[in-house]
Amino acid sequence: MTELFDAVEVIATKRDKHELTDPQIDWVVDAFTRGVVADEQMSALAMAILINGMNRREISRWTHAMIDSGERMDFSSLSWATADKHSTGGVGDKITLPLAPLVAACGVAVPQLSGRGLGHTGGTLDKLEAIPGWRANLTNEEMLAQLEDIGAVICAAGAGLAPADKKLYALRDVTGTVEAIPLIASSIMSKKIAEGTGALVLDVKAGSGAFMKELDQARELAETMVALGTDAGVKTVALLTDMSTPLGRTAGNACEVAESVEVLAGGGPADVVELTVALAREMLAAAGKDDKDPAEVLASGAAMDVWRRMISAQGGDPDAPLPVARETHVVTAPASGTLSRLDALSVGVAAWRLGAGRSRPGEQVQLAAGVVMHAKPGDAVVAGQPLMTLHTDTPERFERAVAALEGSYDVGHAPFDAPSVVIDRIG
């Protein structure tokens, strides 16, 4: 077939700070997916986008071209309204686990397509695979049936959803262009819009443990994604949330599942409960069904009932013991006083080095590896008391994990109130 454009011409347009036309965008995404545009050419275009940016029209068109590279899911046959949540990722971010059953218990179905961890940020699917028998891969038919029956599903995205994104992401990862906000936003939103949910709530994190370290970067990304969702007819809102300190008191896989179950049982850390309820309220409002208070539903045990049914439906045993690490190492408080800082990135790197995360896609993770935090900022500590316990099956990993935590926490004597995890709302 005769191609409509030449890749070099498209690259030069963005290199020279001009807008890409709709036909140029449609063609380059499609041609890249077909293999006509070479990897090195798309890498050059990605770098030009990183340096020169895109306007709202360009990003919206790019996103829809990515969607059109694959299939679209359709939940219109369900008797439920639907809402989904996407987090940009962080340390100890197990919010999806209690959130999906909580929102379902409030009457809105949650089709949660999740991913795996890479580097210091954990992956929802890795966490849930700590539950014996649980499976991440469902067919579209299985997903629809589970949504209609239970109202919640957490599973892997199928290969047919925005395949152009998967191909482009692999390039961005090795060419220094992951940070391009137009490409981040279109990557996330192409999959979420193609998924077909009626409403979407974004949890955009800022801080040392987040992908976006600075608040203004996180705000720009949130605003861009909310605009993309709105333009596509999906009711979209975003919460900017703090990721300078880990969420909850665990970072790992099995240990985060255990903490999530504590939340569903009416306990758990205050920050995890706060963010779970805040996101649930936004999802219910966006789906037009905010007649129930998610805090009350969580306390009632109804969300736990949905959790047990959801895990069982995907082959998991909600009563089975979770994996336990063979080896532990305790990090103690260096002085008495108030813990005033606990750096999220350092804790995430320590958990990664213990085996909870992976260095490259497809690598195996240790389900029981991770960090359990016995104190969070604002808590009083006594010199010599356990501050963190490190868990792994391979004790030779302790040395590097401990090294990651050096300088990651401060103990002082000034009064300290931990700030709210929710910073702002956009949309």
pLDDT in tens, 206-227: 999 998 999 999 999 999 999 9
Reported as a single tens digit per residue, the pLDDT across 401-424 is 999 999 999 999 888 888 899 999
Res. 319: pLDDT tops 80? yes
In the predicted structure, residue 156 carries a pLDDT above the cut 80? yes
Catalytic residues: 86, 165, 172, 187, 191
Superfamily of domain 327-412: Pyrimidine nucleoside phosphorylase-like, C-terminal domain (3.90.1170.30)
The tokens describing 368, both together, are 């029981």
Angstrom distance (rounded) from CA 98 to CA 262: 9
- CATH for 7-53 is 1.20.970.10
Tens digit of each residue's pLDDT (9 = 90 or more) over 74-105: 999 999 999 999 999 999 999 999 999 999 99
- Listed residue (86, 168, 98) closest to 127, CA to CA: 98
Pick the CATH number of 81-158+191-313 from 3.20.20.70, 3.30.2080.10, 3.20.20.60, 3.40.1030.10: 3.40.1030.10
| pLDDT band for position 166 (cuts 50, 70, 90) | confident
DSSP E strands in 187-248: the ranges are: 199-206, 235-242
Beta-strand (E) ranges in 337-385? 337-342, 370-373, 380-381
**Residue 181 Cα to chain centre, angstroms:** 16
The letter for the amino acid at 211 is F
Q: What is the Cα 188 distance to its own chain's centre?
A: 10
- Which is nearest to 315 in space by CA: 154, 145, 113, 135? 135
Nearest alpha-carbon partner for 342 in 213, 268, 249, 425: 249
- Is the confidence at residue 280, as pLDDT, over 90? yes
Continuous segment of H or E residues that includes residue 100: helix 96-105
Report the distance separating Cα 3 and Cα 222, nearest Å: 35
Which of 142-146, 165-169, 314-318 is least confident? 165-169
Q: What's the CA gap between 323 and 189, in Å, rounded?
A: 34
360 pLDDT exceeds 80? Answer: no
Of 156, 188, 167, which is closest to residue 63 (Cα–Cα)? 188
Provide the pLDDT for residue 174.
83
| Residue among 139, 140, 194 nearest 165 (CA) | 194
Domain ranges of the chain: 7-53, 81-158+191-313, 327-412
What whole-number distance in Å separates Cα of residue 21 and Cα of residue 23?
Answer: 6
